[in-house]
């Protein structure tokens, strides 16, 4: 009976762990759906007309696509540059805005190459290696963000000499997947050879 109870509990835990990724994705979908619904209700509340509401969403989509196209093509958009100029003169808000923008740009595909580089550093002691995102470089110094598992948005920032890092073949997406999966999603055996 004790073995049977253990087997049932084991199967229950395996079932929970199998369903967790589905629940997380559903929660994200529900969150996005709720935000879009709230926005739709807000716009519809002003006009009380479905056609007008759909037109507002279509025009918004076109405007955001145009802004994205200009940024990809020219690297900036005049309205965002004007907003940057204004926010830059407001204490406290300018720091929050600048840092938020840099972090988002680090993960976006149109940012500069070094901010999308992944390296390994020895941490917390010699012989133990962790992946880190290169966020900045100055002379022989690297500024690195070392994310923690399983949440890659938490972590810490360090400055290290370039001789203390090993370059990785992983891109940001692969490194993030490695961190979120606590190492389960890692099939780069040549990466491991570099570290030994």
CATH level 2 (architecture), domain 117-194: Roll (2.30)
Q: What is the token pair recorded at 117?
A: 């580089």
Strands 129-138 and 141-147: antiparallel
For 7-36, how does the pLDDT look when each residue is reduced to its tens digit (9 = 90+)? 888 788 788 878 887 888 888 889 988 988
- Cβ proximity of 43 and 53 under 8 Å: yes
For 121-160, how does the pLDDT look when each residue is reduced to its tens digit (9 = 90+)? 998 888 888 899 888 888 899 999 898 888 777 889 999 9
Spell out a b/e string for 34-57, using b for 16 or more CB atoms within 10 Å of the CB, else e.
Answer: eeeeeeeeebeeeeeeeeebeebe
Q: How far apart are CA 11 and CA 16, in angstroms?
A: 9
- Only one residue has tokens 């890692």, namely 186
For 78-121, how does the pLDDT look when each residue is reduced to its tens digit (9 = 90+)? 888 888 888 888 888 888 888 778 767 666 655 454 456 899 99
Domain extents in the chain = 3-72, 75-107, 117-194
């Amino acid at each position: 009976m004790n073995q049977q109870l253990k087997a049932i509990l084991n199967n229950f835990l395996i079932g929970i762990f199998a369903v967790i990724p589905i629940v997380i994705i559903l929660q994200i979908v529900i969150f996005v759906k709720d935000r879009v619904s709230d926005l739709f209700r807000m716009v519809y509340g002003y006009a009380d007309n479905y056609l007008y509401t759909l037109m507002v969403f279509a025009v918004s989509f076109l405007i955001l696509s145009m802004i994205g196209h200009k940024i990809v093509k020219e690297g900036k958009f005049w309205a965002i540059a004007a907003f940057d100029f204004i926010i830059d003169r407001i204490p406290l808000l300018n720091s929050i805005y600048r840092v938020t923008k840099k972090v988002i740009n680090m993960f976006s595909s149109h940012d500069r190459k070094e901010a999308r580089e992944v390296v390994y550093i020895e941490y917390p002691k010699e012989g133990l290696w962790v992946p880190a995102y290169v966020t900045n470089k100055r002379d022989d110094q690297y500024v690195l963000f070392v994310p923690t598992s399983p949440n890659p948005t938490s972590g810490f920032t360090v400055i290290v000499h370039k001789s203390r890092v090993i370059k990785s073949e992983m891109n940001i997406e692969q490194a993030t997947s490695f961190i979120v999966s606590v190492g389960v999603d890692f099939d780069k055996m040549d990466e491991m050879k570099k570290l030994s």
